[in-house]
Amino acid sequence: MDIRTTAAVLVICVLVSPGHAQSVRCWGNGDEGLCSPPQDLSAVDQLASKMWHAAVVLPTGVVRCWGHNYWGQCNVESNLSPALAVATGGQHTIAIRSDRSIRCWGRNLEGQCNVPAALGPVTQVAAGGYHSMALDASGSVWCWGYTNEYGQCNVPADLGMARSIAAGIVHSVAIRTDGSVRCWGANDVGQSMPPADMGIASKIACGFHFNLAILANGTVRAWGENNAGQCDVPPDLGTVVEVAGGFGHAIALQSNGMVRCWGGNQFGQCTVPANLTDGGRITAVSAGWYSSLAVHVPWSPCPGDLFADRVVNGADLGILLSQWGPATTTTVSDLNRDGVVNGADLGLLLSNWGPCPN
C-alpha cells in the first residue's frame, strides 16, 4: 500500500459566534458527499474536514458527521456527547469529551484509534492519514498509530512543551511554547523542515505533504511539497486568521473576512464562490482532499440581537462590550460593519432594545 496516494489530510478550524444560524458551504470535488453537509445544521462551534469526510461540534456538544463512511468514520458514537472538539483523519475521527478524555472511531487497522491508556486530560487532538495526536494539559505531545516507515509518531525527545499540534499524511507538527515549529516524520519533499527564518508561529495547519503557519504578525509561511503551487503564498494575501490545506491547495481566511485560495484547482477547489459572503460573513475555513469548506454566519435580521434569542437585552450588551475595539472575522458586535466596535454600534444596539419584531 502506498500511503502517499491512499490517505488523507487533517485541518481543524475553530469558530466562536454566539447563537446565529450558520451553514457549512463547500466547493470543489464533492465526491462521497463531502460537499453535502446536513441541511439542518445551524450554529456550529467547530468544523473539521479532510479527504472525503467532515465533522462538526454543535453548541450542545453533539457531533455531526458526513461524507465517506466505509470504515465507519461517520458513525458517531452514541455516548460521546457532550464533545468539546473533533478532528478528522484519513479514515478515522477523534473527539475530546467534556471530561477531556478522547474517543476515536473509524479505521483502526494501524492502531490510530488505540488511545494510550496513560493519556490524561487533553486540550487538542489532530489526525493524519493513519496516526493520531494529542496535546495533554501539561503541554506534552502524544502520538499513536502507523509509524513504522516514516516515524511520524516518534515524538522528539527534546521537543519540550507545545501549545498547538497538527498532522499531515505521514508527518507531524507542533508549535512549541516559544512559538518555534518542530516537525517529524516523512521529509521526502521538505515537509518536516520548517524555514530557518520563519519566526514565531501562532497557528499551524497541515496539507497532504505540506504545512501552513500563521506567524505572529498575521502573515503566512508555507513549506513542503509544492507541485501545484500550494506553497506559493500570494504576496498580497495580507493578514490572515485561519489557514487550511488539502491535497495540493491551500485556503486562508483574511482578517477582513475575505477567503483566498491558491494551488491546485482541477476540481474548482480554489474557485471561491463569488457569493460566498452574501448575507453574512465567513468565520472559518477548512479543506478536503480536492474541496474547500467555509462556515457562513448570516447577519442578524434584528440588529443588536447578538445572542440570537429574539430579544436585545443585557446579554447582548455584555457581548458588545467584551468585543469593544477593532473587529475581526469572529466579531459579531460590529453592527455597522465598519471594522470597529464603538459607540456607533452601541447606539444601534440600544435603539433596538427589547423584543425583536416578528
Lowest mean pLDDT among 21-35, 53-67, 174-188: 21-35
Residue 14 has pLDDT above 60, yes or no: no
Residue 21 has pLDDT above 70, yes or no: no
Mean pLDDT value across residues 72-96: 93
pLDDT tens digits, residue range 92-134?
A: 999 999 999 999 999 999 999 999 999 999 999 999 999 999 9
Residue 12 has pLDDT above 70, yes or no: no
Beta carbons of 138 and 126 less than 8 angstroms apart: no
Residue 182 has pLDDT above 80, yes or no: yes
Q: Which three cell numbers stand for residue 85?
A: 472538539
Residue 338 has pLDDT above 50, yes or no: yes
Lowest mean pLDDT among 31-45, 76-90, 205-219, 239-253: 31-45
Lowest mean pLDDT among 3-12, 211-220, 273-282: 3-12
**Residue 88: CA count within 13 A, CB half-sphere:** 40
Question: How many beta carbons lie within 10 A of that of residue 219, not counting itself?
Answer: 14
- Percent of the chain, pLDDT > 70? 94
Mean pLDDT value across residues 2-26: 45
CATH number belonging to the domain at 3-298, selected among 2.130.10.30, 2.170.150.20, 1.20.58.2030, 3.10.620.30: 2.130.10.30
Banded model confidence at residue 41, pLDDT cuts 50, 70, 90: confident
Domain 311-355 has CATH 3.40.50: no
Cβ-Cβ contacts under 8 Å for 322 (sequence gap 6 or more): none
How far is residue 310 CA from its own chain's centroid? 29
Spatial separation of the C-alpha atoms in residues 323 and 298, rounded to whole Å: 19
Strand segments, DSSP code E, in 229-308 are 240-245, 249-254, 259-263, 280-287, 291-298
Residue 5 has pLDDT above 60, yes or no: no
pLDDT tens digits, residue range 315-335?
A: 999 999 999 999 876 788 888
Residue 6 has what pLDDT?
29
Residue 22 has what pLDDT?
60
Spatial separation of the C-alpha atoms in residues 17 and 331, rounded to whole Å: 8
How far is residue 62 CA from its own chain's centroid? 17
The CA–CA distances, whole Å, from 319 to 121, 305, 314, 354 equal 30, 10, 9, 16
Residue 245 has pLDDT above 50, yes or no: yes
For the chain, what are the domain ranges?
A: 3-298, 311-355
- Percent of the chain, pLDDT > 90? 74
Q: Which three cell numbers stand for residue 254?
A: 483574511
Identify the CA nearest to 91 among candidates 65, 126, 129, 58: 129
Q: Which pTM value belongs to this model?
A: 0.84
Helices and strands (H and E) in the chain: how many: 3, 26
Spatial separation of the C-alpha atoms in residues 38 and 71, rounded to whole Å: 20
Q: Where are the alpha helices (DSSP H) in the chain?
A: 3-6, 314-322, 343-351
Residue 215 has pLDDT above 80, yes or no: yes
Residue 10 has what pLDDT?
35
Banded model confidence at residue 209, pLDDT cuts 50, 70, 90: very high
Banded model confidence at residue 291, pLDDT cuts 50, 70, 90: very high
Mean pLDDT for the chain overall: 89
pLDDT tens digits, residue range 88-99?
A: 999 999 999 999
User: What is the separation, in whole angstroms, between the first and last Cα of the chain?
Assistant: 59
